[in-house]
Amino acid sequence: MLHAAILAMVYLGSALMVYNIYGFVRFARSVQDGAEWGTEKRMFYLPITLLVLFLLGYLGVGLFGNPDLLVSGILFGGSIFVFVMYRFLERVTKKIRDNERLSTDLLVAEKSNQVKTEFLATMSHEMRTPMNVIMGLDTIALKDPDLSPQTREYLEKIGLSAQHMLSLINKILYINESDADIAAIKNDEFSLSAALSQINAIAQTLCEGKGLDYAVESDDTIHDACVGDETQVKEVLLSLLDNAVKYTEAPGSVSLRVQLCEVGDDAQTVSFTVSDTGIGMSEDFLSQLFTAFSQEDGSVTSRYGGSGLSLARSKDIVERMGGSIGVTSVKGEGSTFVVTLPFAVASKNEEETAEANAPAPDAQQGVDSLEGRRVLVVEDQEANAEIVIDLLEIEGAQTEHAENGQVAVEMVAKSQPYYYDAILMDLRMPVMDGLTATRQIRSLDRPDAQSVPIIALTANAFQSDVEQSLDAGMNAHLAKPADVDLLYGTIKRYMYEKPCQGE
pLDDT of amino acid 276: 96
In the predicted model, what is the mean pLDDT of residues 260-268?
A: 90
What region does 375 belong to: left with phi over 0, alpha with psi -120 to 50, or beta? beta
pLDDT, one tens digit per residue, over 315-345 is 988 999 999 999 999 999 999 999 999 999 8
Confidence at 357, pLDDT banded by 50, 70, 90? very low
Give me the pLDDT at residue 2, please. 66
Which pLDDT does position 495 carry in this prediction? 85
Average pLDDT over every residue of 428-441: 95
Q: With bands split at pLDDT 50, 70 and 90, how would you rate the model's confidence at 498?
A: low
**In this predicted structure, which of 173-177, 284-288, 291-295, 495-499 has the lowest mean pLDDT?**
173-177
Nearest to 206 by CA among 172, 146, 265, 256: 256
Q: Which of 20-34, 241-255, 451-465 has the lowest mean pLDDT?
A: 20-34
Give dist(CA 426, CA 401) in Å, integer: 12
Identify the residue with better confidence: 62 or 195.
195
Q: What tens digit of pLDDT does each residue of 381-391 get?
A: 888 899 899 99
pLDDT (tens digit per residue) in 80-132: 877 777 677 777 777 777 777 777 777 777 677 667 667 766 776 677 777 77
- The pLDDT value recorded for residue 359 is 39
Arithmetic mean of pLDDT over the chain:
80
- E strands, 79-187, are none
Percent of the chain having pLDDT more than 90?
A: 32
Mean pLDDT of 450-471: 85
Helix (H, G, I), strand (E, B) or coil at 320: helix
Which residues does 239 contact at the CB level (< 8 Å), separation at least 6?
167, 310, 311, 313, 314
47/157 Cα distance (integer angstroms)? 83
Determine which of 51-55, 124-128, 194-198, 410-414 has the lowest per-residue pLDDT on average: 124-128
Dist. CA 253–CA 258, nearest whole Å: 17
Residue 150 pLDDT > 80: yes
Other Cβ atoms within 10 Å of 281 Cβ, number: 21
pLDDT confidence band for 365 (50 / 70 / 90): low
**Higher model confidence: residue 33 or residue 208?**
208
Question: CA-CA distance, 186 to 214, in Å (whole number)?
Answer: 30
481 within 8 A of 449, measured Cβ to Cβ: no
Q: How confident is the model at residue 152 (pLDDT cuts 50, 70, 90)?
A: confident
Q: Please check the confidence at residue 214 and state whether its pLDDT lies above 80.
A: yes
- Is the model more confident about 298 or about 430? 430
pLDDT of residue 292: 58
- Whether residue 430 is predicted with pLDDT greater than 90 in this model: the reply is yes
212, burial (CB in 10 Å: exposed 0-12, middle 13-18, buried 19+): buried
Using alpha carbons only, what angle is made at residue 260 by residues 222 and 347, rounded to the nearest 5 degrees? 35
Q: What angle do CA 246, 250, 254 make, to 5 degrees?
A: 60
